[in-house]
Amino acid sequence: MQELEAIIGLEVHAQMNTKTKMFCGCDNDAFGKEPNTTVCPICMGHPGTLPVPNAEAMEKAVRTSLALHCTVNPASHFDRKHYFYPDLPAGFQISQYDYPLASKGTVDYEMEGEKHTCRITRLHVENDAGKLTHRGDLTLCDYNRAGTPLMEIVTEPDLRSADEAVAFAEELRRMLIAVGSSDADMFKGMMRFDASISLREKGTTKLNPRSEIKNLNSFKALERALIFEGNRLKDIWEETGGPLKHDITVGWLDDEGRTRLLRDKETATDYRYFPEPDIPPLQFSGDEVEEIRKSLPRMPAELKADYLALGLMDAEAAMLVDQPLLRAHFDAVKDVTGDAKRASSLVLTQLVGFLKAADKSPAEGPGTDHLRDLAAAIRAGTISGNAGKDVLEKMVETGKSPREIIEAAGMKQISDTGAIEKLVDEAIAANPKAIESFKAGKSAALGAIVGWVMKESKGQANPKMVNEILMKKIG
């Protein structure tokens, strides 16, 4: 049999981090709140209520569209997508069907150091459904999430493996966070995927009927489901001599590690889409779109390139891109030291190491101001780099400022010429043999004398000054 290749496309649902819901004034942050407390007649779908689109959501969706290099369509409109389900109180979802907000973009992502591109078909805005919890024979409905603004981002079938799908999805998540349109917190279900997969013989271009896997809530689930379904389609191909006969929809059973058939065939007309009569079409002028484009921040891939150009390793640059707080620390320390390597050693090696040892997240560790002060103290020679490491460890443990820790521990570096001269004189007197060997040409003997001074001063003497004064005295 000829070699088969997988053709994969994704639909990504990302909850937007707006203050209020998509079509009403309800609080959009329901996390940790009692069920059914952030609801109103509009998001509960009561008759006679009127939806009003959320301007913040539309602006953030436009920002996201531009970051994904999409064209923001000058006119788009909302449609009703009808289906009955207990998590959908109105009996229809307000979505965008034939005139989406934005179309035709691209996302570049990296896999094993190689650049790949996935085309974006469209981005549209809709409202989320509520949340159902099944307990035995009972189903509990929580409508706090009903009406949360969602972006649906649909890709072309450009992905060829589960690994590629995950690499793309991870890059998209970074971009959403950078743009500020979604917190994309996977643990809170803020980013979810539907993945479609079909097979074809390598070298052919035909798109065969596909299997759509619904509701994947993590990168791991996305990866496992695509690998499983890809193998299953391969088995079918071997048995029947070809692809699926028509499109199917399956669900992913995470505990069992397999998919389960949900629907044998589905067409869009099942949903009886029609234009939402209560919301006028949306229009964006070229000027409005350009204004928003100008306010876009640097994207993760650009940030990473910046850090690589400073001489950081790939893993270090990736860590800074993925962790905004570490990035703020790094940028502040680098501003003080003017040295990317030193900033990376302090933040990415020492700080991250101490946080790990203390089982703390960066948010539970020292603030950027304290790290900046520490770097400044080392740069000014108030403490040595070695002592700085001890101070940092205490900062992580106690949450105190570097100044407090340095003062309390009497760690201030001795940079007073008189005091160091005295110590050096004592060292020379106490180490006649070392002085002799030095004069006989063994320059390594100096180390013993410097070591003596450092020991006597409990590590507080400025080593650079000790060396200079010693050389002046015996050199």
For residue 129, state whether it binds Zn ion (rule: CB under 5 A): no
Residue 368 to residue 372: CA distance in whole angstroms: 6
Candidate segments 41-49, 236-244, 378-386, 467-475, binder of Zn ion by CB under 5 A: 41-49
Q: State the nearest-atom distance from the C-beta of 130 to Zn ion, in Å.
A: 11
Q: State the nearest-atom distance from the C-beta of 143 to Zn ion, in Å.
A: 9
Residue 340 to residue 320: CA distance in whole angstroms: 12
Q: State the nearest-atom distance from the C-beta of 181 to Zn ion, in Å.
A: 20
Q: Tell me the per-residue interface mask from 42 to 81 with Zn ion, x by CB under 5 A, - otherwise.
A: xx--------------------------------------
Is the CB of residue 83 less than 8 Å from the CB of residue 134?
Answer: no
Q: State the nearest-atom distance from the C-beta of 34 to Zn ion, in Å.
A: 15
User: Tokens 């703390």 appear where?
Assistant: 360
Q: Tell me the per-residue interface mask from 397 to 426 with Zn ion, x by CB under 5 A, - otherwise.
A: ------------------------------
How many residues does this entry show for the chain?
475
Q: Tell me the per-residue interface mask from 223 to 262 with Zn ion, x by CB under 5 A, - otherwise.
A: ----------------------------------------
CB-nearer residue toward Zn ion: 148 or 211: 148
For residue 146, state whether it binds Zn ion (rule: CB under 5 A): no
CB-nearer residue toward Zn ion: 91 or 297: 91
Q: State the nearest-atom distance from the C-beta of 285 to Zn ion, in Å.
A: 30
CB-nearer residue toward Zn ion: 42 or 405: 42
Residue 381 to residue 406: CA distance in whole angstroms: 12
For residue 14, state whether it binds Zn ion (rule: CB under 5 A): no
Candidate segments 1-9, 36-44, 103-111, 170-178, binder of Zn ion by CB under 5 A: 36-44
Among 5, 27, 40, 131, binds Zn ion (CB under 5 A): 40
Count the Cβ atoms, other than its own, within 10 Å of residue 136.
5
Q: Which strands sit side by side in the sheet containing 274-275, from one edge to the other?
A: 92-95, 79-82, 274-275
Candidate segments 24-32, 271-279, 281-289, 414-422, binder of Zn ion by CB under 5 A: 24-32
Angle value at C-alpha 184, between 143 and 362, nearest 5 degrees? 120
Residue 172 to residue 216: CA distance in whole angstroms: 15
User: In terms of C-beta density within 10 A (0-12 exposed, 13-18 middle, 19 or more buried), how is residue 31 classed?
Assistant: exposed
Q: State the nearest-atom distance from the C-beta of 144 to Zn ion, in Å.
A: 10
Amino acid letter, residue 132: L
Reference 57, options 190, 150, 183; nearest CA is: 150
CB-nearer residue toward Zn ion: 43 or 317: 43
CB-nearer residue toward Zn ion: 43 or 392: 43
Residues touching Zn ion, count (CB under 5 A): 5
Query: What phi and psi values does residue 207 have, to the nearest 5 degrees?
Result: -95, 120
Q: State the nearest-atom distance from the C-beta of 146 to Zn ion, in Å.
A: 8
Where does 200-351 have alpha helices with state H?
219-240, 286-294, 300-309, 314-322, 324-337, 340-344
Residue 352 to residue 350: CA distance in whole angstroms: 6
For residue 24, state whether it binds Zn ion (rule: CB under 5 A): yes
Candidate segments 35-43, 81-89, 132-140, 292-300, binder of Zn ion by CB under 5 A: 35-43
CB-nearer residue toward Zn ion: 18 or 65: 18
Reference 94, options 277, 243, 263, 220; nearest CA is: 277
Residue 262 to residue 249: CA distance in whole angstroms: 5
CB-nearer residue toward Zn ion: 30 or 375: 30
Residues in a beta bridge with 9: 196
CB-nearer residue toward Zn ion: 52 or 207: 52
Candidate segments 18-26, 114-122, 186-194, 234-242, binder of Zn ion by CB under 5 A: 18-26
- The half-sphere exposure of 188 on its side-chain side, counting CA atoms within 13 A, is 14
CB-nearer residue toward Zn ion: 5 or 87: 87
User: Tokens 């200079």 appear where?
Assistant: 468
Count the Cβ atoms, other than its own, within 10 Å of residue 351.
24
User: In terms of C-beta density within 10 A (0-12 exposed, 13-18 middle, 19 or more buried), how is residue 254 classed?
Assistant: middle
Q: State the nearest-atom distance from the C-beta of 369 to Zn ion, in Å.
A: 40
Is the CB of residue 429 less than 8 Å from the CB of residue 473?
Answer: no
CB-nearer residue toward Zn ion: 24 or 153: 24
For residue 26, state whether it binds Zn ion (rule: CB under 5 A): yes
CB-nearer residue toward Zn ion: 31 or 274: 31
Interacting residues with Zn ion (CB under 5 A): 24, 26, 40, 42-43
